[in-house]
Each structure stands twice: as C-alpha cells, then as structure tokens.
Amino acid sequence: MLASYRRITRAGFFILFLLAPLLDLFRLDLSRGHFVFLTMDWTLGLNPQTSELGPSAITLHLLLRLGLPILLTLGVLLWVVWRWGRIYCGWLCPHFSMVEWIDGQMARWLGRRSVWEAATSRRRHGARLVMALVVFGSSALWAVTLLTYLVPPVPLWTGLFQLQLPIWHWFFIGIGTALFCIEFALARHFFCKYGCAVGIFQSLIWAVNRRAMVIGFKRERARDCRDCNACDQACPMRLPPRGMKRHKITCTQCGVCVQTCQQVQAANPEGALLHWVSGDEAVRMDKQPGTLIPVLEKD
C-alpha cells in the first residue's frame, strides 16, 4: 500500500513537472522578463506611476508583491522539513524519481543498481546499449524540460522537432544533456547526497530537530535480522536504515526500507523491525549508543 501511494505521488508530480511550463503554471519567461504563475504574469508591478509614491508606499508594495509570497513559501517549507525531513525528495522530487527509475533499469539489465556496485545477477544481452539509451533519453528530456521553464515551451518543442532552434537553445540542450548523462550514469546518488542544494538544506534543518520523524529500529529484536541486510540493499540513498539519525541525515523518508523489512518479516508475528517514529521516541532512538546491530552469538 505504501509503495502504491508513493508511485502515485511521484508519477503525478513528475507529470506536473513536465507540463507546468506548457500549462503556464510556473516558469520564468526570459522573453517577457518575469515569472508566470498560474497563467498570470507575476511581476513587481513597478511602473512610472509607482515611482511617484513615497518610500513607505513603495516598500509596502514590494513587500506584498515579493517579500510576503517568499516568506510564506519558506515558512511552509521550513515547517514541513522541520517535522518530516526530506520527504519532498522521497515522495515528490522528479529528479529522485528519475534516480530510482534508472536504478531499477540498471538492476534489470546490468544486475546492479549502480556502476560502482558488484553485480548480483548476470547481465542481459544488449544491456550496455539499452542503458546508454535510457541515460541519454532521460538526460535529453531533463535538459529540454528545464529550458521550457525559461522560454515559451510550445515554440521550443515545435522548433526541436523541426530542428529549427536558436543556436543558444542548442547549446543549452547539448550541454545540459551531457552533464545529466554524466550524473545519471555515474553520480546520481552522490548528487542527491552532496550536490543538491535543496536536499542539503532539508537535511540540515531536519538534523537540528531531534523530535522529527525518523526511521526507528527495534533494537531489542535485533536477533531477528542479524543475518539480514535487505534494508541496506534496498535503500535508494545507500544509507544504514538501522543506524542512528546522524548516520542517515540524507534520508528521503521514502519508506523503501520499511516496506522491505515488512516483506522480509511477513511470517514473523511480531512484525517488522523498522518503522517511523517521532517525538519522544525519536529522541530516545537518537540517544541509543552502540553500533547498528548488537553483536549476537549464533545459536
């Protein structure tokens, strides 16, 4: 059920990411010199008549036009991140959705989810060609989509199919595609951890709040998973789900580790060992000393 909800939210937001410029929901139109929001021009509203107002009136005008929307948006984002961490990354972010999708394709064709990991199964015939097409196609789609946030999207797509675009458009698409190819093929997880400014901002805010939602581990039942590392292998960010909070501050709250633990422990009447916790329980989890799993003697 959790995976189904997450597929719906990620798919919906990814489609929104692709269509938002086309529908004029949000973009920065360089040709018009201002933002477009919900089909309406979003400008500072400064004109010759405005300049005749006094300093206090102009300040109030700018506050209502620019300052207030920014402050309200930041306030909501800070509140969400403070309570739930990088939940945007795990449940909405179109880039992270692409990262996980490419992970799945690599696992299917190459037998591993990253070029830096050892293969767990045999590589399929034609795997390299397929993965090259997957990475190139994903990268080109991202480059073109980002450009639609800066220029009118309909003329851009029309010119792209007709191979009639301004030279700087071709430069943007070419350089963007090349950079995304490098990232998607070699460094997509590293970028999410260390290169994404939005992700790092969320991680730092979440790390300060000791009562924020975090993946908890029932250490008293560690014996049930002493020979299992399925959650470690399943985590898209390659984090230790059973570790303390400081070991996983880049957690995206995707819940893949929780779902994996539920599947592994399906026959166990006591249920899964991983679960979300918050508040006092999150504080207690963060105070627990020691390693990820206590050293246990085999029976």
- What's the confidence (pLDDT) of residue 293? 43
How far apart CA 245 and CA 103 sit, in angstroms, is 25
pLDDT at 61: 66
Cβ neighbours of residue 25 closer than 8 Å, sequence gap 6 or more: 16, 19, 37, 38, 39
What tokens were used for 222?
A: 């560690």
Q: Looking at residue 168, what is its pLDDT? A: 94
DSSP 122: P
Q: Find, among 170, 166, 171, 175, the residue nearest to 31 by Cα.
A: 166
The answer to whether the CB of 260 falls within 8 A of the CB of 98 is no
Per-residue pLDDT, 48: 59
Do residues 66 and 44 make contact, with C-beta atoms less than 8 angstroms apart? yes
Residue stretches of the chain with pLDDT short of 50? 289-299
Neighbour-count burial of 254, counting CB atoms closer than 10 A to its CB (0-12 exposed, 13-18 middle, 19+ buried): buried
Place of tokens 């026959």: 267
Residue 46 and residue 59 in contact, taking contact as beta carbons nearer than 8 Å: no
Distance separating alpha carbons of residues 98 and 94, to the nearest angstrom: 6
- CA torsion sign, 61 to 62 to 66 to 71? negative
- Record the pTM: 0.84
Beta bridge partners of 217: 274
Residues 128, 133, 135, 139, Cα dihedral to 10°: 160
Give the domain ranges of the chain.
2-43+85-202, 214-287
pLDDT for 166 equals 95
In this prediction, residue 285 carries a pLDDT of 77
The 10s digit of each residue's pLDDT in 199-234 is 999 999 999 999 999 999 998 888 888 788 899 989
pLDDT score recorded for residue 68 = 86
